[in-house]
Chains A and B, each alone.
Chain A
Amino acid sequence: ETGVTQSPTHLIKTRGQQVTLRCSSQSGHNTVSWYQQALGQGPQFIFQYYREEENGRGNFPPRFSGLQFPNYSSELNVNALELDDSALYLCASSRPTGELFFGEGSRLTVL
């Protein structure tokens, strides 16, 4: 049990639509990060939030955006969905040691 919960677990969208994925992390873990995992690949870093501000970003376009809230919850928003956005989206929170704990993920399918 990692204490990180994500919703929804599965969803299907069509190309051009927008999606919001949600994450609730452990109390006291004030860093949250999001990763995209395509089938058969390792997770790829999207961005990280610390105290409600983005402080690190991977090689993803601006249509991937996020929010972090004071209650340790977080959102990942993706606009103008493309077929290649189909993936498992993982949320992770960090201990001060730097150890990451992941949720079960949200499986997004874009048709």
Chain B
Amino acid sequence: KQEVTQIPAALSVPEGENLVLNCSFTDSAIYNLQWFRQDPGKGLTSLLLIQSSQREQTSGRLNASLDKSSGRSTLYIAASQPGDSATYLCAVRGASGAGSYQLTFGKGTKLSVIP
């Protein structure tokens, strides 16, 4: 059974700092990995999707990397802003079987960017 862990659970940084969020997963047989942002009481906003054959994806100040063999992904946020404050969730889709129908999520990292 796939398990996804995100460390740290919460992070507080001053505005302008670069930061890294970590995600690890136990089964390396994945189809893709997706990073989401969730504001309090809201739905999930897709940030980046990395297919299993890719090593990284970039969108603006965000860069996500994937090391499938070691079961790890990182989300790098450059020059953080107060508007980046949210919970960031990592999710993986299995490559086959029952796991291919679903995303398995971590519990998220709650980020606070202090002005």
Contacts and interface: CB of A to CB of B under 8 A. Distances in A.
B45 A45 contact: no
Interface in A73-106: 88, 90, 92, 97-105
A107 interface: yes
A105 B104 contact: no
Contacts, number: 67
B43 A56 contact: no
Interface stretch (B63-71, B75-83, B105-113): B105-113
Interface in B59-109: 89, 91, 93, 98, 100-108
Contacts of B13: none
A62 interface: no
A100 B43 contact: no
A98 B44 contact: no
Q: Which range contains the number of B residues in contact with the other chain?
A: 20 to 34
B107 A40 contact: yes
A48 B107 contact: no
Interface of A: 2, 4, 6, 33, 35, 40-45, 48, 55-56, 58, 88, 90, 92, 97-105, 107
Interface of B: 4, 31-32, 34, 36, 41-46, 49, 51, 89, 91, 93, 98, 100-108
21 contacts: A33-B102, A35-B103, A42-B91, A42-B106, A42-B107, A43-B44, A43-B105, A44-B105, A48-B101, A55-B101, A58-B102, A90-B43, A97-B32, A98-B51, A98-B93, A99-B34, A99-B49, A100-B34, A100-B46, A100-B91, A104-B42
Given A4-B43, A56-B102, A103-B43, 12 more contacts: A33-B101, A43-B91, A44-B105, A45-B102, A55-B101, A56-B101, A97-B51, A98-B31, A99-B46, A102-B43, A104-B42, A105-B42
